[in-house]
Amino acid sequence: MHAFVLDFQEMDPSQLALVGGKGLNLGKLSKIEGVKVPEGFCVTTLGFQKAVASHEAYQAQLDRLKQLNAEDREQIGKVGQEIRRILTGLSLPDEVSDGVKRQLSRLGEAHAYAVRSSATAEDLPYASFAGQQDTYLNRIGPDVILRHIGLCWASLFTDRAIIYRMQNGYDHGRVYLSVIVQRMVRPQASGILFTADPITSNRKLLSIDAGYGLGEALVSGLVSPDLYQVREGKIVLKRIATKKLEIRGREEGGTETRPIDPGRQNTQVLTEAQILKLAEIGRRIEAHFGSPQDIEWCWSDDAFYIVQSRPITTLYPIPDAPDHENRVYLSVGHQQMMTDPIKPLGLSFYLLTTRAPMLAAGGRLFVDATPRLITPAGRAMMIDTLGKSDPIIKDALATIVEREGFLNLAQADEQEGRQSAGVGIPAPVQSPPALDPAIVSDLIAERQASLEALKEAIQSKSGPALFDFILEDLEELKRLLFDPRSTKTFMTAMDAAAWINEHMELWLGERNAADVLSLSVPNNITSEMGLALLDVADAIRPYPQVIEYLRHATDDRFLEGLVRLAGGQEARDAIEAYLVKYGMRCAGEIDITRARWSERPIELVPVILGHIQNLAPNAGKRKFEQGLRQAQEKERALLERLRALPDGDRKAKETKRWIDLLRHYIGYREYPKYGMINRYFIYKQALLKEAERLSLAGVIYEKEDIFYLTFEELRDVARTGFLDHEAVGNRKEAYKWYEKLTPPRVMTSDGEIVTGRYKRDRLPEGAIAGLPVSAGVIEGRARVILNMADAALEEGGHPDHSFHRSGLDAFVRIHQRTRHRSGRIDDAWRGHRARIRAPGGGRGRRRYQADSRRAANPRERNRRLY
């Protein structure tokens, strides 16, 4: 017998497809001891499917809908309206109407009922469709209820529900609707209970909204509710609102809005005892479901009734702590300017590479800052160092430290604090250190030789032997990354920058002098990468057919079509030569699973076209020479001014030594990461070759499935020939959820996201605060680029503007920084060209000056704590 109608007590966890998320949750709630749920039943999705299965007009409109996308708003409106007309005119199948009448006879036909929608894609772990379909309250009589079941079916195709499904990748033909029919409670009060604070995400802070009458008044925004917050069984906040209206059920059916008597408008809706009782029920429900819950409740006849509970899907996951002590976590991605989620294989490779203890949550990496924050010296060092690169983090950490009792702050002496901090606090730099002038070339040569050896040796490895080999080579990578000679080399340069900035400001009043002195230095692999792409543009520039072809290129096979054009072979050779040296790089390159430029060369096309359009030939050579002249002129001017000071010869001589150190060694700072990314790409190519073997053997479905396994899991798959495909599917769904989450810079073990604020005294009115890359001033239109492949670079900036780094590197870093998604900037700016508005409201240019305090100490600015 088909289950067209199911009582709450008849449901079991396997029936999600029959009753939808909302219906299934009510079935689970009704079985929790000590939780009262109004009686009811579900009209299952079988009734909906039977009603539409042979309806040709419905199927035809559904096919039309599948051809549209979320931007086709007008057509969506027309098709949705027609589908709703069809569904509201349907005759319910006899199995549905008979089953509903039997349930109403059992529960009482004279009672009022709520008729609520429950979609099969609703309230799942990684998506919440709550509010997408309709609810009808206080409906009385079998005929009325049967009619509203049809209305609920129709609400599956409101414009809002259709667009939401399109945006979340759900097939309209595979989302069915169950309808809940639940006996109405006539409450004196109702509201919403969040078992985690929806504003701060603190899991220990339970939040209750409460108002008079039915909860619809709160949900619709008709009234402002009382707010109560409870932490560990104690009420920590009560905010009493003025409540002028309430919604009540009418005796004859339906609802009405009534004014609240003035004497009750400012009274507390729930007593302290009721608040604590409701909080206890909320914790019980949370424990049953195993995750923070968004709960709808009613207070009627001296009892709380729960009418819905769904997971809170907007909370950021908490890293797993080793104990139950309070902890503070810092985002690694914000320091790396890559806050997109990382797939499991990428996470595991980064964890195998770093020496720092890191934890993963929400597809991102976090460092436990607690050991450093609890000691005086470690705390001062961390807050000061991070504050120079990200003042928001500094303010957030200061907020946490100032909270009484949250951290067990040690009263240690300075030396003990330094040891506890995990890294030594450098002593003030007094004099230039001695370094072998050949150290940079020696280090680069040694690392290049190691790379070539890796490329040769890995070719013969496959199966479990490949994984053993990669593990061994990761030790070589760590040896190179943390080689004391390497660290001393780039730290010497950063010390030099710090010394120069400090002393030039002290002696000459000049700030950030090291920025100009660092232009066009030798051995800067990242700057060389940017300049080399300018040379690629020059190789393509003479060929109009190639340029036009590139303007219309849309996928990574564009290189194949180049050879048919005049100059196409030259263009292809130039691009491929560039990819040989730099093709292992990309935005978000710390994630080994991200597509590299060699794998997605189309991402370089907008940059190449931008260079051709906006820059004259030989721009790479000119930019380098221009930067070199600027640096030389800055050095000459500084030394000349120093010699005019008291004791000027000594100051000039000392400054010259530091400038030489800066220019000789600062370029090497970029090389260690370049070497790491090179190795990652070699590993990735070998693993994809192994994935192809596993795919041909039928072990995996797609090569990219390996990205959703950790390194050790993939190693086991290669050894055993077995893959848990369901686990891979679950991780793919989890990754989609992670993409929607905004990762916090700073969070606590309570799950609280501590946002921090900019504290700038002279911020212009209406300005958008941000984090500068380097000091300086630039005027012009601002654009946010979220995807390099989709970017169309146009003339607008100053063509002769010299970046501290190469143009391409600046492009990549700007691209990565815009993906931080702070304040959901991606939604606000996607697909639009931004024009800055002047303070008066008119269109125009605005002058922005980078916060020079951030760039004042490059040593601190560039140090990685992790």
- Taking the alpha carbons at both ends of the chain, their separation in whole angstroms is 61
What is the pLDDT at residue 201? 92
Angle, helices 544-551/525-540, rounded to nearest 10 degrees: 120
What does the pLDDT average to over 701-713? 96
83-141 confidence digits (pLDDT tens): 999 998 888 999 999 999 999 999 999 999 999 988 775 444 455 555 556 788 889 99
Residue 471 parent element (H or E): helix 463-481
Residues in the chain: 866
pLDDT at 769 over 70: yes
pLDDT confidence band for 775 (50 / 70 / 90): low
Name all contacts of 76-80 with Cβ < 8 Å and 24+ positions apart: 76/159, 76/162, 76/163, 77/159, 80/157, 80/158, 80/159, 80/162
Instruction: For tokens 């061994």, name the residue.
Output: 472
What is the pLDDT at residue 634? 97
Angle, helices 525-540/619-643, rounded to nearest 10 degrees: 140
Q: What are phi and psi of 691, to 5 degrees?
A: -65, -35
What dihedral do alpha carbons 538, 540, 541, 547 form, nearest 10°? Answer: -150
pLDDT confidence band for 32 (50 / 70 / 90): very high
Per DSSP, 57 falls in state: H
**Which of 702, 699, 738 lies closest to 719 in space, CA to CA?**
699
Residues 6+ apart with CB under 8 A from 144: 253
Lowest-confidence pick of 267-271, 426-430, 658-662? 426-430
Sheet-wide strand order for 226-231: 234-239, 226-231, 205-212, 189-194, 293-300, 303-311
pLDDT at 422 over 80: no
Q: Other C-beta atoms within 10 Å of 492: how many?
A: 23
Lowest-confidence pick of 69-73, 384-388, 429-433, 506-510? 429-433
Residue type, 380: A
**Which of 548, 563, 432, 440 lies closest to 490 in space, CA to CA?**
440
**Token code pair at residue 106:** 């059992």
Cα gap 607→673, rounded to integer Å? 22
What is the pLDDT at residue 642? 97
Cα gap 11→42, rounded to integer Å? 9
What does the pLDDT average to over 596-623? 95
Cα gap 732→283, rounded to integer Å? 30
Q: How many helices (H) and strands (E) does the chain have?
A: 32, 19
**Which of 275, 288, 200, 292 lies closest to 237 in space, CA to CA?**
275
pLDDT confidence band for 437 (50 / 70 / 90): confident
> Is-contact 215 298, C-beta < 8 A?
yes
pLDDT confidence band for 757 (50 / 70 / 90): confident
Q: 388 or 368: which carries more pLDDT confidence? A: 368
Q: Other C-beta atoms within 10 Å of 716: how many?
A: 16
What is the pLDDT at residue 13? 86
Local structure of 135: helix, strand or coil: strand
Instruction: For tokens 């009115």, name the residue.
Output: 765
pLDDT confidence band for 347 (50 / 70 / 90): very high
Cα gap 139→30, rounded to integer Å? 22
pLDDT at 539 over 70: yes
What is the pLDDT at residue 834? 30
pLDDT, the chain, mean: 84
Considering just the CA atoms, what is the radius of gyration of the chain in Å? 32
